[in-house]
Structure 1
Amino acid sequence: MIRAALAASLLVAGLAGAQAATVPEGVWSLPKGKATVRIAACGDGVCATLVGLRKPLDKQGRPKVDKRNPDRAKRDRPVIGLSLLQGMAPSGEGWAGTFYNPDDGKTYAGSLAPAGDGTLKLKGCVLGGLLCKTQVLTRVS
């Protein structure tokens, strides 16, 4: 009985902490202005849509498409407008789930968390977290 009560209290405390983070809604820029994403709440989680690119056109002057997507049927869809975050649910002071990188057509385990300086840190990992890369997003609006 005591174990069940302890487990329930830890679960409630964990959920309260996970929901404490406020979704950083707005438009955010990736490093060097390479791309901009719109972040919004999606239920209890976070969604992000690619809304702009520093270089939106390919060498032929056409809008860039998702040419590296492993699903051949999706390779002709425009990159601008793609949903980049999937299943980003509250986790600690941020969110955890996966994100899609149209640069290489791969989906990575990742996290999104506010940094103390008003930026966001997007961290993606492979090999069970052995290799990770973090990008800092800066608010545009």
Structure 2
Amino acid sequence: MRYSFTVLSLLVAVFFTATTARAEVTGVWSTVEGKSHVKIEPCGDKLCGKIIWLKEPLTDKKIAKTDIKNEDVNLRGQPINGLEILKGFVPDGDNEWDDGTIYNPEDGKTYSSSMTLVKPDTLEVKGCVVMFCKTQTWTKVQ
């Protein structure tokens, strides 16, 4: 009886730790140089994120920016604002998420990605191709 209570207590602690860490990364984050804001939220049992604000939302011709560099020609007309760029992240230890992808509308490519919550208001987002990675630091907006 004592053993099953200990196991149950451990499972509850693990659940609350994972839930708490996940909640800290959700919210709105400013990307490098404040070019955009990305809202990270649960998508089923994973995390995803979409662009909800752009510093420069219009082209030189004063029309909304679209995903013109997307490798899929059929998706090039979709607006950048509202575009899902983070997909499939799962918890991987304390304040870390892995197995996700990040889409970069500046080059139209999707990269394997991981995220680490360094401080409550600082998120490191890493995108990789094979073994070459680039890390950006995002700042929490809300």
- TM-score norm. by structure 2 comes to 0.80
TM-superposed CA distance for 1:117, in Å, is 5.7
Q: Secondary structure at the match of 1:36?
A: strand
Deviations, residues 66-105 of structure 1 (Å, cap 9, x unaligned)? 0010111100110100111121112223211111111111
- Note if 1:107 corresponds to 2:110: yes
Percentage identity across aligned positions? 42
**2:43 and 2:112 mapped to 1: Cα distance?**
18
- Note if 1:27 corresponds to 2:28: yes
RMSD over aligned Cα atoms:
2.0
Gap regions ≥5 residues in structure 1: 1-12
- Note if 1:123 corresponds to 2:133: no
- TM-score norm. by structure 1 comes to 0.81
Gap regions ≥5 residues in structure 2: 1-10
Matches within 5 A, 1:30-69: 30-69=31-70
TM-superposed CA distance for 1:139, in Å, is 0.9
**1:117 and 1:71 mapped to 2: Cα distance?**
36
Q: Is the 8 A contact 1:45 1:95 kept in 2?
A: no
**1:103 and 1:131 mapped to 2: Cα distance?**
18
Q: Is the 8 A contact 1:44 1:90 kept in 2?
A: no
For 2:87, the equivalent position in structure 1 comes to 86
Q: How many residues align?
A: 126
For 2:77, the equivalent position in structure 1 comes to 76
Q: 1:95 aligns with which of 88, 94, 97?
A: 97
**2:120 and 2:26 mapped to 1: Cα distance?**
16
**1:90 and 1:106 mapped to 2: Cα distance?**
24
